[in-house]
Amino acid sequence: MEIQIWRELLDPYQLAVDELTCKFNHLIDEYHNRNMYCPIESVIGRVKSVASILEKLQKKNIPFEEMEHQVEDIAGIRIICQFVEDIEKVAQLILSRDDIELKSEKDYIRHMKPSGYRSYHLIVYYTVQTIRGPKKLQVELQIRTMAMNFWATIEHSLQYKYKGNMPEHVTERLTNAADAIIALDNEMSLVRNEIMDAQNSSQIQMNLVTDILNSMENLYKLSNKREVIKIQDEFYRIYETHDLEQLARFHKQLDIIAEGYRAQAVTKNI
């Protein structure tokens, strides 16, 4: 098939990948801006390469006309979570959306593949708008932990290297590594609450500091420099204490000071 035709065919899939990646990244931002723990650590997407599509058509004996119907992962999104518990949360989040319709799910976490592969897959329908009108596409969403992703990435490279003839000693090592990944995910789940608390505090601190710096920047415009320098020194002093409550109080005081200056400016202008 001509390159141009492949491009036309795959273009809407690229749009779906771009849109969904953007939407999931926006969800991450929303959680962070609200100082909430985010069950999504990161998101990546890809459109399957032409070579990889052709290989699948051949392997599964799929006629070309059936490609868009039978190859479910032309568009693929991978959502990485920190903890196994987050995977279900993310799946629920996805299934509650209006722009995504479920076709099928595959739970390779409860039912690990013989290779040792673990991941939660959703095959969904997603509609993109093209110059020819709306197009409903299939997208594969893979949801897995960072540890599962580490294993799958390494195993995928080895599969590619050995092309179905993986030496026994390598298979054995991969099986051992898959067991270690299960143990690691379980261990991490046991300290999940503590890790979440620590990450929440760090997110709250980051947001507070950003707000304070914005307020100080505004004060520069409204008040005299000497006063702002004094406020800045006070900020550094409090920042070094790592005390979130003090930082939050300082932020409130800063707001009150800024409000006072704004009121003065309004009175002057009258």
Q: How many chain residues touch ligand 0O2 (CB under 6 A)? A: 12
Strand order across the beta sheet in which 42-47 lies: 42-47, 75-81, 133-145, 120-130, 101-107
Q: Does 73 bind ligand 0O2 (CB under 6 A)?
A: yes
Per-residue binding string, ligand 0O2, 9-48, x by CB under 6 A, is: ---------------------------------------x
Q: How far is the CB of 117 from ligand 0O2 (least distance, A)?
A: 3
Backbone angles phi, psi at 120, to 5 degrees: -110, 120
Q: How far is the CB of 180 from ligand 0O2 (least distance, A)?
A: 16
Query: Quick one: which of 97, 113, 136, 262 contacts ligand 0O2 (CB under 6 A)?
Result: 113
- Between CA 227 and CA 232 the distance in angstroms is 9
Sign of the alpha-carbon dihedral angle for 233, 237, 239, 240: positive
3 state SS of 46: strand
Q: Of 41, 45, 39, 42, nearest to 77 (Cα)?
A: 45
Per-residue binding string, ligand 0O2, 157-196, x by CB under 6 A, is: ----------------------------------------
Q: How far is the CB of 52 from ligand 0O2 (least distance, A)?
A: 5
Contact 123, 91 (CB under 8 A): no
Please work out, in degrees rounded to the nearest 5, the angle formed at the alpha carbon of residue 246 by the alpha carbons of 34 and 230.
110
**Is 140 part of the annotated catalytic residue set?**
yes
Tokens of 124: 């969904």
Q: How far is the CB of 85 from ligand 0O2 (least distance, A)?
A: 22
Question: Which residues are at the interface with ligand 0O2 (CB under 6 A)?
Answer: 48, 52, 56, 73, 106, 113, 115, 117, 121, 152, 155-156
- Catalytic center residues: 140
